[in-house]
Amino acid sequence: MFPDIKIFDKVISWYSIMAIIGIIVSGWYTIRVCKKKKIDDNQVIIILLIAAIGVLIGSHILYGLTKFDFLIKFIKNFHKIDSFKLFFDCIIEIFGGSVFYGGLIGGLISAYSYMKIKKIDIQFFSDLLTPVIPLFHIFGRIGCFLSGCCYGIESKIGFTYKYSLMELSNHVNRFPIQLVEASYNLILFIVLTVFYNKGKFKGKLLYIYLILYPIGRFIFEFFRGDYYRGFIFGISTSQFISILLLIFSVIMLLIKRKKADR
């Protein structure tokens, strides 16, 4: 939507700018909640940093898996790579992008592993940090809209891109699905925050999120026009993962309910 910003010959995308703002706002929210609940914010910050590492790794790995054909060609023709530059270019081509679900899963696994090793109360901290996920995602999706790195289907209602690096999105009026998803994440953030403050669904907030967001994401995928992201069994990669996360979360809630009834 808008051209990248240049500062001292360094190109900074709007997605990066919004991601930084999202990190700042999410950190401020978390520290504020910790002070209000008289929780050690140092422990929480460490968990967030560990999760951030998982997000970074997971988001790029899943992006690479969506480019499976290119990845297979890279492996089969690895012996033909005769320079570090060519190797680096191939790696960037395969893993240079990011996928939200990859980051979400990577972040959850890394945070869970850390808390398990340190014997930290996983349910307590997952309830505390769950609202942070949609809060950060709000800014991420706005960043996607401003950069045009993902976009909506052709529509009479919407916006026309001019500066997106994705040539397919330029000069075509497209539905602003990123802003719709950002709004949905705002609603999720408010709902989850209310639940947390009122002590609702203790130890279950993460699963509530992992039910509500996948439902919305599955629907939103029908309004996206960036078909290069990959498909599995006739549905997009994100829709397939949404189904798996929904099933997993429902099962976990049923297990928790059964344990509580004993």
Position 2 confidence tier, pLDDT thresholds 50, 70, 90: low
Share of the chain above pLDDT 70, in %: 91
Q: What whole-number distance in Å separates Cα of residue 59 and Cα of residue 85?
A: 23
- Looking at per-residue confidence, does 50 or 94 come out higher? 50
Range with the poorest average pLDDT among 80-89, 179-188, 235-244: 80-89
Average pLDDT, the chain: 87
Q: What are 262's two structure tokens?
A: 């004993």
pLDDT reported for residue 229: 61
Position 230 confidence tier, pLDDT thresholds 50, 70, 90: low
Taking only the tens place, the pLDDT of each residue in 154-202 is 888 877 777 666 777 777 888 889 999 999 999 999 999 999 999 999 9
pLDDT reported for residue 260: 75
User: Which residues, other chains included, contact 203 with Cβ-Cβ below 8 Å and sequence gap of 6+?
Assistant: 123, 124, 126, 127, 256
Which of 2-6, 59-63, 122-126 shows the highest mean pLDDT? 122-126
pLDDT reported for residue 140: 92
Q: What whole-number distance in Å separates Cα of residue 207 and Cα of residue 203?
A: 9
Instruction: For the chain, give every domain's residue range.
Output: 39-129
pLDDT reported for residue 4: 62
Range with the poorest average pLDDT among 25-34, 80-89, 103-112, 248-257: 80-89
Q: What whole-number distance in Å separates Cα of residue 32 and Cα of residue 128?
A: 11
- Looking at per-residue confidence, does 117 or 260 come out higher? 117
User: Which residues, other chains included, contact 125 with Cβ-Cβ below 8 Å and sequence gap of 6+?
Assistant: 43, 44, 47, 115
Range with the poorest average pLDDT among 19-28, 29-38, 63-72: 63-72
- Looking at per-residue confidence, does 106 or 98 come out higher? 106
Position 141 confidence tier, pLDDT thresholds 50, 70, 90: very high
Position 262 confidence tier, pLDDT thresholds 50, 70, 90: low
pLDDT reported for residue 259: 80
